[in-house]
Amino acid sequence: MGVKRFVTVADYYIRTLGGRALRLPVGGWGSCPNRGPSREGGCLYCDARGSGTDILQMDLPIEAQIAGYVRTGKRYVLYFQPYTATHGDWAPVAGAVEAGLGHPQIVGLAIGTRPDCLDPRAWDWLEGLHRRTHLELEMGLQTASDATLAFLNRGHTAADFAAAARRAGALGLRVVAHVILGLPGEGEAEGRATAAFLNGLPIHGVKVHPLHIMKSSPMAALYGIGRMAEGGERFSAPGAPDLAVLTRERYISLLSAFLEDLREDIVLYRLTGSRRSTDFLGPRWLREKTKNLNRIRAALKEKGIEL
C-alpha cells in the first residue's frame, strides 16, 4: 500500500486564494428547522447556541464581529457557522453576507446549511455568490446511516444529503461535508461506510470531529450526563444505543479508518474539535488541541497517510 496524501485547508487556500487565509466565524443570523414545533429540541448532540464556536459574539452586528477578530495584514474566509443560514427568513443572512464582502480583508465565504434547507431561491442566491467570490457550502451529514440520523433527530436522510450535494456540484459549488465519529451505536464500520458514501458524491472537503457532550444538548439529558467525562465512560438510556465516550486513542483509530477509505482529492478542513465553554462536558482531552493534532498526525503518518 502506497502513501496517501491529503491536502489541508491551509494549503488549499494558499493554492487557490493566492496566499494564506484564515477562517473567521460569525453568527447571529439564520435559524434551525429542528428547533421548531415539528422537531422540537434540535439535533440530539447540538447545544443551545447551535454548535457554533465558543468565541462567537452573536449579539453584535457583523461589522463589529469582524472588527473584533481581524488582524492587520491577514486575509479571511468569512464563515457563517451556527444554525442554518438558508432556513426560514434568511434575508438578514444575505444582508450580513453583503456587509461582510465589503470588508477589504474578506476574500471568500463559507455558508453553513443543511440538505433539507435549500429551496430554489437559496440555490439561486448561492449560485450568484459563487460567481462573485470564493464560496464554500458547509453541509451537515454527520453519518451515512439513516438509522443513526433518525436517532439524532437530524430530520433528513443520507439520500437528501446526496441530492443536495449533486445539485451543488452541478452548479460548481464547493461542498464541505461535516462528519461526526463516535456517535452512539457507531464504530469503525460505520465510519468507513460514511467515507465510501462521500466518495460517490461531488464533495470538495470534509470536516471531521469526535462526538462531544454539551450540557445544554438533548443528548446529555437523555443519557443523564451531568459532569465532565474523561473518555472511556459508557452511558445507557432506554430504547437508545449505548453512548461510549471516546478516548483519544479510540478517536484516532476511527479517524484513521475513515481517512483510509476517503478519496484522496477531498480537502481536509478539520481533523478534530476543541471546546472550552462551561457548557462542555467532555471528553476532557478535547481541550488539548495542539496535543491532539500532534498525536493524530503522528498516527496517520504511521499508517501511510500524510497531510
Query: pLDDT tens, 48-65?
Result: 665 555 567 777 888 999
- Predicted local distance difference test score (pLDDT) of residue 148: 98
How many angstroms separate the CA atoms of 158 and 68, rounded?
A: 38
Using N-to-C axis directions, what is the helix angle for 120-132 and 91-101, rounded to 10°?
A: 0
pLDDT band, residue 285 (cuts 50/70/90): very high
- Each residue's pLDDT tens digit, 93-139: 888 999 999 999 999 999 998 898 888 998 999 999 999 999 999 99
> By mean pLDDT, which of 78-92, 204-218, 263-277 is the weakest?
78-92
Domains of the chain: 4-306 (3.80.30.30)
76-80 β-sheet, strand order: 22-26, 76-80, 106-113, 134-142, 174-181, 205-210, 267-270
Q: Is the pLDDT of residue 276 over 80?
A: no
The more confident residue out of 39 and 171 is 171
pLDDT band, residue 147 (cuts 50/70/90): very high
- Predicted local distance difference test score (pLDDT) of residue 180: 98
pTM of the full structure = 0.93
